[in-house]
Structures are given as C-alpha cells and as structure tokens.
Amino acid sequence: MKRDLILIGGGGHCKSCIDVIEHTEEFNIVGILDKKELIGNKILSYDIIGVDEDQLKFKNCSFLITVGQIKSNTIRKNIYHNLVANGLTLATVISPRAYVSKYASIGGGTIVMHDAMINSAVTIGYNCIINTKALIEHDTVVGNHCHISTAAILNGNCKIGDDVFIGSNVTLAHQIIVTDEVIVGAGATVIKNINNKGIYTS
C-alpha cells in the first residue's frame, strides 16, 4: 500500500524529486506546500494545496522537504526542525535506479536521486540530498543537512560534517575530512582536509 506524502517546496528540485518519487511506486503524492500566492498552481501534475504552516492538517501523511539546497541550507533546516517539533513523519526516498548497499545507513528525510551509488558501510545523515550520479564510497560518513551534488565523488573513508554543500563534479580523495558548514564549489578536487568552515573552490 502506498504511503501518502506531502512535499514542501515547489521549485526545480521539487520536480526532480517528483520524478524519483514516482519511480519508487511507494508513495501517493497528496500535494505540495509552498507560498500562499501559489496555492492552486501545479508542479508537474500535482497541486500546491497549502503553506508550510498547514503541516498539521496532514499529520497522517509523511513529508519530504523538496526545497533545494544551493549553498545555503537554512530553509531546509528550519523546515526539518519544525516538522520534528510537530512530531511529523519524514520520508526517506531512494530511487530504484540508485544503488544503495545493504550495509549502508540512510537518515530520515534524505532523498537519494537517480543513478547515485552508495557503497558498503556508508552512513548518510538526515535531511540530505544525494543528487543524481553522486558516488559515495565505502566507510564514508556524511553528516546532517548536506547536499552532495550531481556527479560528485566522495572516495572511501571520507568524513563530511553537518551543513555541507559539495558541488557538482567535486572529487574528494581517500580519507578526506570536511568540517561543518563548508561549501565546496563545482569541479573542485580536494586532496587535503578542510578544517575551517567557509567556501572552497579548488
């Protein structure tokens, strides 16, 4: 039986999430919560049915945060903490086109997009985006509220802190540590640990 699901955030990332969700055949998308002025509009074939403050009206549903995370994750974090504070259920969504090892662990509210690969003994935190074609190798740990972008490569035994954005086509060498609140810009190659929060582009 499919679980009823409410999406929060109706932008471009939402469209990508909808495609993944439909492929899972695990959920019935009831609708989307977004800005008041957008109520009645559609995202793909799904209606915007309310605003964030309407979450408790759908307490029998699961929720997925479909706001994107380009650099800042503040909005996603605030929504996550509000859902948890209200005792609501967060869905974990894994594309059937992704490979997730049975020895990996995926936190609540995380989505694993098409063609991502998550290998043995990987741990992914809650409220993360593991985007299309990302590769996360054995024994790597990814913290909470992170976005591992399209085609990023995290090699074995890496440790990624909380609130980290790893841009598209980034490569992390083996055993790299990235502390909390770091942005690694698209295309960067990381061969040394990042011990201070900030923006890194090469």
State the DSSP H helix or E strand holding residue 20, giving kind and residue range, or none if neither. Answer: helix 12-24
Residues of the chain with pLDDT below 70 are: none
Q: Token pair 């869905």 is at which residue?
A: 91
Q: Do 92-195 and 3-91 have the same topology in CATH?
A: no
Q: What is the pLDDT of residue 202?
A: 73
Q: How far apart are CA 113 and CA 16, in angstroms?
A: 8
Which sequence spans correspond to the domains of the chain?
3-91, 92-195
| Cβ atoms 156, 136 nearer than 8 A | no
Query: Could you give the CA distance from residue 133 to residue 151 in angstroms, rounded to a whole number?
Result: 5
**What's 39-86 look like in SS3?**
CCCEECCEEEEECHHHHHHHCCCEEEECCCCCCCCHHHHHHHHHHHHC
Three-class SS of 150-193: CCCEECCCCEECCCCEECCCCEECCCCEECCCEEECCCCEECCC
pLDDT of residue 1: 86
Could you report the per-residue pLDDT of 171-191, keeping only the tens digit for each? 999 999 999 999 999 999 999
Amino acid letter at 194? Answer: I
Predicted confidence at residue 179, as pLDDT, reads 98
The encoded tokens of residue 167 equal 């841009």
3-state class of 14 per DSSP? helix
Answer for the pair 128, 110: CB distance below 8 angstroms, yes or no: yes
Distance CA 83, CA 62 (A): 10
Task: Say what the pLDDT of residue 70 is.
Answer: 81
Contact between residue 137 and residue 120 where contact means Cβ atoms under 8 Å apart: no
93-94 and 189-190: which strand pairing?
Answer: unpaired
Q: Among 3.40.1170.20, 3.40.50.10860, 3.40.50.20, 3.40.470.10, what is the CATH number of 3-91?
A: 3.40.50.20
pLDDT of residue 33: 98
Q: How far apart are CA 165 and CA 181, in angstroms?
A: 8
* CATH classification for the domain delimited by 92-195, as one of 3.40.50.720, 2.30.30.90, 2.160.10.10, 3.40.50.2300: 2.160.10.10
